[in-house]
Structure 1
Amino acid sequence: MQKLFIDFEPNGQITLNEEQSRHIAKALRMKKGDMLTLTNGDGNDYGCQINGISGGLVTLSVCYKQANNSEPSVKVTLYQGVPKASKLEDVIQKCTELGIAAICPTLTHRSVSRPDEKQAKKKGERYKKIALEAAQQSGRGIVPEIMDMTELKKAVENDESELKILFYEGGGESLKSIIPQNIKSVSVYIGPEGGFEESEVELIKSAGGKIASLGPRILRTQTAPVTALSAIMLLTGNLE
């Protein structure tokens, strides 16, 4: 069933905005009487029926609600070293599908792409749209938070996760040995093209973080976060 994330009160009639209505009526060719799912991030999915389409706007009413069971038990935040081109867009899409809670584009010593404030704001809006679309497609209960672009040092200082893990091409501990199954929050640090400098590895260590490996092969910056997140979800029982 088609799913939309919108801000609404599940009482009475709901009217979609022009963009949402156009997507439902034109792109999906839905009509009066059809059902779709709405969620407002409160942990529930609301089954709604289209009451009518008038003046370019779709109106619906709530028929039932049920708890959303798609959210993982562990909250994973990705601190992704800002890569070149559109690679971060792919990372956001795939990690949203896998259950990421938040993504922070992170500037490191080897980040080649360094957008100015105006460019960063524009990119941030694009990233949020990608996360929203991926969350709707994959049946998520929330839309992952896309955090403001920040320097690595500041990101580490503000990181309150139970466990910080930096994945390093220079080697590290096995992920299986450092992830307890009942952990509630994990931060994942992935470098840009070229990886992390040793001083950045030491920064994570000094903050109580762990250095981990994703195996003997060197993964691309857009492959590593998807691999790491998949492994964490598997080890915490969230792919069962």
Structure 2
Amino acid sequence: MRYFYIQPQTIQGKKALITEPDAGHIRKVLRLKPDDSIGLLDGEGFEYLARIEEISNHGIHVLIENQFPCTTESPLSLTLAQGFLKESKMDDLVRQLTELGVNRWLPFMAERSISRPDEKQLTRRMERWRTISSQAIKQCHRGRFMDIERALSFQDMVLSAKNHDLALLFWEEETRPLREIQASFGAHPIASVFIVIGPEGGLTQEEVGHAKAAGFHIAGLGPRILKAETATLAACSLIQHLFGDLG
């Protein structure tokens, strides 16, 4: 069954309206017709089974036949703080992290960040990232959007990690493995994790020391030096496997 994003405010009782760009995709590409069944995702934790009633230039009018909570969200609340990478790499990560079940994505400026967009560029990028994430939830059948926040300084990013069960910074110069940190928690439940990954040039010793002083655990990802975007995906996959629903 085909799934589409529906804006929650367009749902009125059993009626709903699919707007652009999905409406155009339904009309011009898929060429669906009235009475065809489709699935809907509202990005707020619910999915719907619906039937097309009318196709018009204003949108796709549908009748909702069933509503139920989406069961594909991880039980783990996972935040990823990502040091700014080159533009195309950040775009790719938004899609991949949405698929991996990351709840909150927080880009930050590190000392060695090569990409440093200004406010106008950042606003444009955030709009594109939200579009990419909304497209990704349809592909992976997620119930909720990944929250994408405005860029912070390294210091403000560290402060935002408060109130998480586990705060982790992955650093290429660290030899302590993640499994050792996991073992130190014993049977203590981990429901929320905050991960930090640096930019292409890595984090400085001063930045790592600042995070450690703020309560972060510093971990490595093995003996090989990974590209920043590879490290991000590896770290999120490991955390979802250990504390979430991956594998």
Q: TM-score range by the shorter chain?
A: over 0.9
| Aligned pairs for 1:52-71 within 5 A | 52-71=54-73
Change (3 A) 1:74 1:237: closer
Stretch deviating more after TM superposition (221-230 or 1-10) = 1-10
Rounded to whole Å, the distance in 2 between the matches of 1:57 and 1:43 is 23
Q: Gapped runs of 5+ residues in structure 1?
A: none
How far did residue 205 of structure 1 move? 0.6
Question: Who is 1:194 aligned against?
Answer: 201
Are residue 204 (structure 1) and residue 211 (structure 2) matched? yes
Given candidates 174, 179, 182, the residue that maps to 1:176 is 179
Alignment partner of 1:3 is 2:18: no
> 1:20: how far off?
2.5
Q: Which runs of 4+ in 1 moved over 3 A?
A: 179-182
Task: Provide TM-score, normalisation by structure 1.
Answer: 0.94
Unpaired runs of 5+ residues, structure 2, are: none
Q: Is the 8 A contact 2:5 2:22 kept in 1?
A: no
Alignment RMSD: 1.6
Size of the alignment, in residue pairs? Answer: 240
Q: Deviations over 1:118-146 (max 9, x none)?
A: 01111111111111111111000101011
Correspondence for 2:238 among 224, 231, 234:
231
Structure 1 vs Structure 2: percent identity of aligned residues? 35
- Provide the C-alpha distance between the structure 2 equivalents of 1:213 and 1:10, rounded to a whole number of angstroms: 50
AA paired with 1:213?
Answer: G
- Give the secondary-structure state (helix, strand or coil) at the position aligned to 1:218: coil
State the distance in 1 between where 2:181 and 2:34 align: 52
Determine the C-alpha separation between the residues in 2 that align with 1:20 and 1:218: 41
Tell me if structure 2 keeps the 8 A contact 1:22–1:56. no
Q: 1:94 & 1:132 partners in 2: Cα distance? A: 12
Aligned partners of 1:82 and 1:111 also within 8 Å: yes
- Residues 173, 211 of structure 1: 8 Å contact kept: yes
- Quote the Cα distance in structure 2 between the aligned partners of 1:81 and 1:55: 42
- Aligned residue type for 1:167: F
Contact 2:175 2:222 in 1 (8 A): no
Partner SS state of residue 173, structure 1: coil
Q: For the residues of structure 2 that align with 1:42 and 1:145, how far apart are their CA atoms? A: 11
In the TM superposition, what is the alpha-carbon distance from 1:6 to its structure 2 partner?
A: 2.6
- 1:119 pairs with one of 109, 118, 121: 121
Matched, 1:218 2:225: yes
CA distance in 1, matches of 2:161, 2:2: 35
- Give the AA of the match of 2:51: Q
Give TM-score scaled by structure 2 length. 0.91
| 1:87 counterpart (69, 86, 89) | 89
Give the letter aligned to residue 169 of structure 2.
L
Per-residue CA deviations over 1:174-225 (Å, capped at 9, x if unaligned) read 2123246841111110011111000110111111110011111111111111
Contact map agreement 1:164 1:204 (CA 8 A) in 2: no
Return the offset for 1:2: 2.1
> 1:105 touches 1:148 (CA, 8 Å); kept in 2?
yes
Instruction: Name the aligned partner's letter for residue 196 of structure 2.
Output: Y
Matched position secondary structure for 2:111: coil
Q: Write out per-residue CA displacement over residues 82-102 of structure 1, whole angstroms, 9 at most, x where no aligned residue.
A: 012311111111111010001
Equivalent-residue separation in structure 1 for 2:89 and 2:81 (angstroms): 14
User: Aligned partners of 2:97, 2:2: CA distance in 1, in Å?
Assistant: 20
- 101 and 110 in structure 1: CA distance in 2 versus 1, 3 angstrom threshold: same
Three-state SS of the structure 2 residue aligned to 1:153 is helix
Kept in 2: contact 1:52–1:58 (CA 8 A): yes
Deviates more, 1:122-131 or 1:181-190: 181-190
Paired residue type of 2:229: Q
